[in-house]
């Protein structure tokens, strides 16, 4: 579009209004006040319609990050559900369960809190507002602005473009948000962070990032079924021994229970579907007894970065830093990352203040962020579990053996750095994967639900008359080679039913995108075996509208 774009100039632009971005914004202002200097002008861009609407997590909050960010938060009206009061790990078989007799300290959650991440992020946004930080919900950043090799801000997406790329009557060009420093915390497989990591070679010499796919439902159950603060994790069934993952149930207020399942996207099974496996989990007698007679409140899905310490890319370039889930700030052993995202935001904020004071936003100056982060509690925690996830690429038993070795060697195991293979390279072709297809759960419309019922409860919404935000650069490959070799796994791995092979008028089949179903999980961008699917933001404000998640 040739229209001239409006420009907003700030000291610091923050892309992504999750825990990392909001922690960075809050700490920028509060730390400047503590230092007795004028707080920088800060703008936080969030693609969701409201802060928190795209925030999905388990979620258990380790309070360490919030304690550092807002020390008196316990005296404020913070929307935590309950402190963890009881927890257990179960090994499931198809009809039975066995309690793991001992939980290692690293996997215990006493002192942590069950939270709705959506509510917590919305509350953090109010804290940022009280500091007069500029918040821009509904603005999706679609491109980095660069001059002479330096990041100088971002461009937000145009609004009002039809599916053919033409301007509609409500067309509005995107904004240029110019900044001395840009903090990119656009989440798992973020469009800007991925482009910068690729273009600047920030992952050279690092392990590839590994991902889990997760699906979660929130249920309202009969009174007394599952107490607030009760935490239950499971391993084993319904996942096979060649697939990393497990399930969880977290007790919340108002008789709500969060139930979710996560599975490694490095599974060799080309037919793996996390939404279906979540439904199968609910057929287990132990889980059914908790949820039966309840009511589904909400559904969501997301990819989870699990590559760990060795997969974290370089974190700074001229004019920009990378934060949070965008770079894998998650402890895969604990499946916890909210506190780590906050700590990355605080470390980036302190580095940004130093750089602004020195009038030096070079990569050399901003690289102090990486040192600050890795020398701090976040880096120390991740280093202790640096080799946890990689050995599970060779199966459950192999992974558990190496986990035990790591417990007795301070996280090292048999070598200082375990290698890893990129997720989609682990997927087997149908001719190679001899195990039968997983059973389709017996949908009953009450407890065991199909994908469209779940998607309805994500409250996702997209304007149909706009370009699809899921780009398939070689759709012909879908009906030929991918169909023959993998059986069109996109129809399975998408937990929202976006990808569908339909009859073509000229005969055979073709790919059809139900992009309005998309819950922005990014699984397709990761699990596609040929690397031809790319997720980019739709118009700002669209996508899921998570509540109590």
Transcribe 293-313 into DSSP letters.
Answer: T-EEEEEEEEEEE---GGG--
Q: Is residue 335 left, alpha or beta, with left meaning phi > 0 and alpha meaning psi from -120 to 50?
A: left
The Cα 116–Cα 123 span in angstroms is 11
**CB under 8 Å to 116, separation ≥6 — which residues?**
59, 79, 81, 252, 548, 549
Task: Answer yes or no: are the C-beta atoms of 161 and 466 closer than 8 Å.
Answer: yes
Q: Are strands 134-137 and 42-46 parallel, antiparallel or unpaired?
A: parallel
Element housing 24 (H / E): helix 19-35
**Half-sphere CA count of 15, side-chain side, radius 13 A:** 37
Residue with the two structure tokens 């996280």 = 411
Element housing 533 (H / E): strand 533-535
Least confidently predicted of 52-56, 124-128, 437-441: 437-441
**CB under 8 Å to 34, separation ≥6 — which residues?**
none
Q: Are strands 176-184 and 167-172 parallel, antiparallel or unpaired?
A: unpaired
Mean pLDDT score across all residues of the chain: 96
Q: Please compute the mean of the pLDDT values over residues 60-86 and round it to a whole number.
A: 96
The Cα 424–Cα 266 span in angstroms is 6
For residue 538, pLDDT over 50 is answered with: yes
Q: pLDDT band at residue 238, thresholds of 50, 70 and 90?
A: very high
Q: Please compute the mean of the pLDDT values over residues 96-123 and round it to a whole number.
A: 93
Q: Please compute the mean of the pLDDT values over residues 21-36 and round it to a whole number.
A: 98
Q: So what's the pLDDT on residue 3?
A: 61
Q: pLDDT band at residue 240, thresholds of 50, 70 and 90?
A: very high
For residue 105, pLDDT over 90 is answered with: no
For residue 1, pLDDT over 50 is answered with: no
For residue 2, pLDDT over 70 is answered with: no
Q: So what's the pLDDT on residue 439?
A: 85
Predicted confidence (pLDDT) per residue in 483-532, tens digit = 999 999 999 999 999 999 999 988 889 999 999 999 999 999 999 999 99
**Half-sphere CA count of 385, side-chain side, radius 13 A:** 22
pTM over 0.95: yes
Token pair, residue 299, equals 């559904």
Q: pLDDT band at residue 317, thresholds of 50, 70 and 90?
A: very high
Predicted confidence (pLDDT) per residue in 224-234, tens digit = 999 999 999 99
């Amino acid at each position: 579009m040739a229209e001239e774009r409006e420009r907003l100039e700030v000291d610091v632009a923050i892309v992504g209004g999750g825990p990392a971005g909001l922690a960075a914004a809050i700490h920028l202002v509060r730390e400047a006040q503590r230092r007795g200097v004028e707080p920088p002008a800060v703008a936080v861009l969030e693609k969701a319609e409201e802060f928190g609407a795209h925030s999905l997590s388990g979620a258990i909050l380790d309070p360490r990050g919030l304690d550092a960010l807002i020390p008196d938060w316990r005296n404020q009206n913070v929307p935590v559900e309950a402190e963890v009061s009881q927890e257990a790990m179960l090994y499931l078989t198809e009809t039975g369960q066995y309690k793991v007799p001992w939980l290692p300290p690293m996997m215990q959650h006493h002192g942590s809190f069950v939270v709705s991440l959506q509510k917590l992020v919305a509350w953090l946004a109010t804290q940022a507002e009280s500091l007069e930080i500029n918040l821009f919900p509904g603005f999706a950043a679609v491109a980095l602005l660069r001059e002479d090799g330096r990041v100088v801000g971002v461009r937000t997406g145009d609004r009002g473009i039809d599916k053919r790329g033409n301007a509609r009557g409500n067309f509005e060009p995107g904004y240029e948000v110019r900044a001395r420093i840009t903090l990119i915390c656009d989440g798992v497989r973020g469009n800007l962070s991925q482009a910068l990591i690729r273009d600047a070679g920030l992952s050279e010499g690092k392990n590839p990032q590994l991902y889990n796919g997760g699906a979660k439902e929130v249920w309202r159950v009969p009174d007394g079924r599952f107490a607030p603060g009760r935490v239950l994790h499971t391993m084993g069934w319904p996942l096979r021994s060649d697939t990393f993952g497990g399930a969880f149930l977290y007790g919340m207020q108002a008789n709500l229970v969060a139930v979710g399942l996560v599975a490694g996207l490095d599974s060799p099974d080309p037919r793996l579907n996390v939404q279906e496996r979540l439904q199968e989990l609910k057929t287990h007698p132990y889980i059914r007894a908790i949820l039966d007679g309840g009511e589904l409140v909400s559904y969501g899905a997301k990819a989870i970065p699990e590559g760990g310490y060795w997969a974290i890319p370089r974190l700074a370039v001229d004019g920009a830093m990378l934060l949070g889930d965008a770079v894998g700030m998650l402890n895969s052993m604990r499946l916890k990352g909210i506190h780590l995202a906050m700590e990355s935001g605080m470390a980036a904020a302190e580095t940004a203040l130093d750089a602004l004071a020195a009038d030096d936003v070079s990569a050399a100056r901003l690289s102090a962020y990486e040192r600050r982060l890795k020398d701090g509690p976040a880096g120390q925690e991740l280093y202790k579990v640096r080799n946890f996830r990689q050995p599970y690429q060779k199966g459950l038993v192999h992974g558990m053996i190496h986990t035990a070795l790591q417990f007795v060697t301070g996280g090292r195991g048999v070598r200082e750095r375990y290698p890893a293979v990129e997720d989609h390279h682990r997927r087997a072709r149908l001719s190679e994967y001899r195990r039968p297809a997983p059973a389709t759960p017996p949908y009953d419309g009450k407890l065991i639900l199909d994908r469209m019922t779940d998607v309805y409860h994500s409250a996702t919404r997209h304007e149909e008359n706009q370009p699809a935000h899921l780009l398939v650069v070689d759709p012909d490959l879908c009906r030929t080679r991918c169909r023959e070799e993998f059986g069109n796994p996109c129809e399975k791995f998408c937990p929202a039913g976006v990808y569908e092979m339909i009859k073509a008028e000229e005969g055979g089949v073709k790919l059809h995108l139900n992009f309005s179903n998309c819950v922005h999980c990014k699984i397709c961008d990761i699990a596609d075996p040929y690397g031809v699917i790319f997720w980019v933001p739709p118009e700002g404000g669209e996508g899921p509208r998570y509540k109590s998640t």
